[in-house]
Amino acid sequence: MVGLSEGKLLWTPTAAYVERARITHYMAWLAEHRGLAFTDYQSLWEWSVDNLETFWATVWDHFDIKAERRYDSVLSSREMPGARWFEGARLNYVDQVLRHRGDDPSCRAIVYASEGVPTAEISWGELRAKVAAMAASLAELGVGPGDRVVAIMPNIPETIVSFLAVASLGAVWSLCSSDMGENAVLDRFTQIEPKVLIAADGYRYAGKPFARGAMVAGIARELPSLKAVVILPRLEPAVDHALFPGAHDWSELAARRAPLAILPVAADHPLWVVYSSGTTGLPKPIVHGHAGITLEMVAMQALHCDLGPDDTAQWYTSSGWIMWNAQVAALASGASIAIYDGNPGYPDLGVLWTFVEQARVTVFGAGAAYFAGCAKAGLKPNELADLSSLRALSSTGSPLSAEAYEWIYGNVRSDIWLSPISGGTDFAGAFICGTPILPVYAGEMQCRALGHKVEAFDESGHPVIDEVGELVCTEPVPSMPLQFWNDPGDRRYRESYFEVFPGVWRHGDWIKITPRGGAIIYGRSDATINRHGIRMGTSEFYRLVDEFPEVADSLVVDLEFLGRESFLYLFVVLRDGATLDDRLAGAINVRIRQALSARHVPNAIVAAPAVPYTLSGKKLEVPIKKLLLGHAASGIANRDAMANPTSLDWYIAFAAARTAAEEPAATG
C-alpha cells in the first residue's frame, strides 16, 4: 500500500495556460498602469502584503469596482480588530454581481439541477428580473436598510435570488440550510431579530422527501420580531398553508414586474451574518460588510480561481456552508455558476460528474472528503462522463491527501489544474489558495493569497518556514468581520482570534509554509497531536488508515493536556464483514510506524460504529477529545449542528466506561 509521495510534481502550466490566466492580465496591467514589473508569483505576493493599501487599490481599479462614490482612503486603521477599509465609499455588492451581462437573455447565469429535477438554466436577464421583483415585494413588506431577512432554504436558484434581493435593499441576509434542526436555526436567528423569514417547505435528499413545514412554523412562532413569512413550496403535496396564516408565496412575489433599484450603502454596511460551526455554546454571529466582501471575492474568484466570462463554476455545497456564498460570488467575475441540490452519492457517486458534463462546468470544487470518497470507491469519472470542458478542480473543508491528488490525476484528467484552498467562514475567504501560473505538487497547496500576510508562527510568535506552526495573519484583510452581532466591546470577537497573539489573527489551524512558497494544512491546531514534543496533524493519520479496505472511516484523538502523558486513541469504523482483530490492528500500527514514526503509533485502536460530523462535514475531533477528558456530555457539542447526532451516544458511553475504569487508580 505505497501511496504517492508528498511533494511530487504533478502539473506544470503550459505557456498558453499562463498567458490566458487572469492573474497574468493583472500583472500586465500593473506594469502598464503602475510601472510595477513582477516575474514570479512570490515577488508579487511579497509586494501585495508589504503594500496593502496599494494592492487593494489596484484590485479596485483593475476590476473597475462599481460604486456611487469612491473611497477616501483604502485603509485608515490597521488595528485588528477594528481595521477600517474603504472609508467614504458608497457601493452595493449586488451591483458587482449583476453588472457583467446586463439584461442579456441569451447568456446563462445559473445552471441548476436537483434530485429528480432535470438540468435547467436561468439567463442573466431572468436573474435580474427576479431579483428586481423580489426586492420590490420585500420593500412593500417593509424591508429596508439594516433590517434582517433570514432564510431556511436549500441550494437552489430561489435562494440566490432572495439573497441578492435582500442585499440590493441594504438589508442584512442570513441563511440556514433546510436540513438544520429547529434548535440550531433558532440559536442563530434569535440573536439577530429578523423582520422577515423566507423558507422552503422541504427538500429532497437521497431520493427521499423531507417535509419542513411544521418545523418552519415552529421557528416562526419563536421569532417575535418577524413581520412577515414567505414560503416556497418545494414538495408535493404542497405545504399546509394553515401552518402559516398570512404567509406570502415566494413565486408570486418573484413574478411581478419591477425595475431593478440597487441601493448604494456605506463600505462598512452589513451585508450578511454567517455563523461559526456551533459545536459548543451559541454560534458566533459574524458580520461582514459590502466593500470588504466585494473586494475579497472579486480578487479571489478572478486572481486565484481564474474565473471569467467564459467559465462555468460549480462548488458542490450545502446552503449552510460559506462555500455557498463563495459560489454566488463567482457571478461577480462574470462567470456562470452551476448548482446541484441533493446527495452527491445518490443514486451513485457519478451524479456530480454527470452534472459537470451536462452543465459544461469548467471549474469544479467540492469538499476534500468527497474526492477521498470517490477515490476509496474506485470511481473513474473520466470513464463515466465527458469531462472535456473541465480545466480546473478545487477542494476545501479539510486537507486533501497526496493520495487524493494521485487519484484525481489518474482518474479525472491528467492535464488538470488542481488548486485546493483553505480559509474559513470567519472572514469569508481563503488564506491559502491556488494560482494558474505555478506548478502543482502532491499534497501541497500552491500559495498564500495575495494581500493576505499569512505566516506559520512558532510557540514564541515568530514566523517559521518548513516547520509546522500556527496559521496566523499579521495584517488586516478587507473581509475580516466588522463585528459579531450584539457583541459589546468586541469581547467575543477578540477572544475568538486575538487572545493568543495580540493584534494578530490566529486562525486555529496548523500550517507549514514550504521553501517554495506553498503550504500544507495539518488540521485544527486545537485538535492536532503533540507527542513527546513532536507535532502531528490528524490528517497524517487519516490518509494512512484510509488505505485499508476494511476501514470505512476513522477518528484520531490524543488526550495529552496540561502536562498529562499522551494517550492516543484511533477509532475506526469498519466496513460490513470486517473485524478489528490482531492482524488488522497490527497492520495499521506497522503502516503508521513505517510511514510516520514510532511516536505516531496509537496507544489503542478501537472499533466504533460511526464518526461524528458537523453539518459542514468536519469531524468532531475536539468535542470527542473533551468528552474523553471528562467534560460533561451536555456541553461538548450542539447536536442540532451535527450531521449524525446519534453517533455521539456511543462515545459518551465509551467515555463513561473509561472514566469508571480510571477511578480506582486516581483515588488509590
Rounded to 5 degrees, φ, ψ at 43 are -70, -35
Answer yes or no: is 405 within a domain. Answer: no
Answer yes or no: is 550 within a domain. Answer: yes
Cα 513 from chain centre: 21
DSSP one-letter code for 300: I
- With H, G, I as helix, E, B as strand and everything else as coil, classify residue 477: coil
How many whole angstroms separate alpha carbon 501 and alpha carbon 228?
44
Query: Which CATH number fits the domain that encloses residue 644?
Result: 3.30.300.30
**Tally of structural domains, the chain:** 1
Answer yes or no: is 411 within a domain. Answer: no
Range of the domain at 564: 526-667
Q: Provide the pLDDT for residue 565.
A: 59
What global pTM score does this model have? Answer: 0.85
The per-residue pLDDT for range 555-609, each reduced to its tens digit, is 999 886 433 557 899 999 999 999 999 999 999 999 988 777 777 899 999 999 9
The per-residue pLDDT for range 599-640, each reduced to its tens digit, is 789 999 999 999 999 887 889 998 898 888 887 888 778 888
- Which cell numbers in the block locate residue 33? 498602469
Answer yes or no: is 124 within a domain. Answer: no
Burial of 490 (0-12, 13-18, 19+ CB in 10 A): middle
What are the start-end ranges of the H helices in 561-601?
A: 582-595
Strands (E), 474-550: 483-484, 505-513, 519-524, 529-531, 534-536
Q: Provide the pLDDT for residue 556.
A: 94
Answer yes or no: is 48 within a domain. Answer: no
The per-residue pLDDT for range 289-315, each reduced to its tens digit, is 999 999 999 999 999 999 999 999 999
Q: Find the mean pLDDT for residues 88-115.
A: 92
How many whole angstroms separate alpha carbon 36 and alpha carbon 278?
45
Q: Provide the pLDDT for residue 663.
A: 52
Answer yes or no: is 631 within a domain. Answer: yes
The per-residue pLDDT for range 58-71, each reduced to its tens digit, is 999 999 999 999 99
How many whole angstroms separate alpha carbon 228 and alpha carbon 40?
54
- SS3 of 612-654: the string is CEECCCCECHHHHHHHHCCCCHHHCCCHHHECCCCHHHHHHHH
Answer yes or no: is 301 within a domain. Answer: no
Answer yes or no: is 630 within a domain. Answer: yes
Confidence band of 219 (pLDDT split at 50, 70, 90): very high
How many whole angstroms separate alpha carbon 69 and alpha carbon 57?
14
Cβ within 8 Å of residue 549, ≥6 positions away: 575
Q: Provide the pLDDT for residue 539.
A: 76
- Which cell numbers in the block locate residue 221? 412562532
Q: Provide the pLDDT for residue 665.
A: 39
Confidence band of 2 (pLDDT split at 50, 70, 90): very low
Alpha-carbon dihedral angle through residues 358, 360, 363, 366, given to the nearest 10 degrees: 0
Contact 315, 89 (CB under 8 A): no
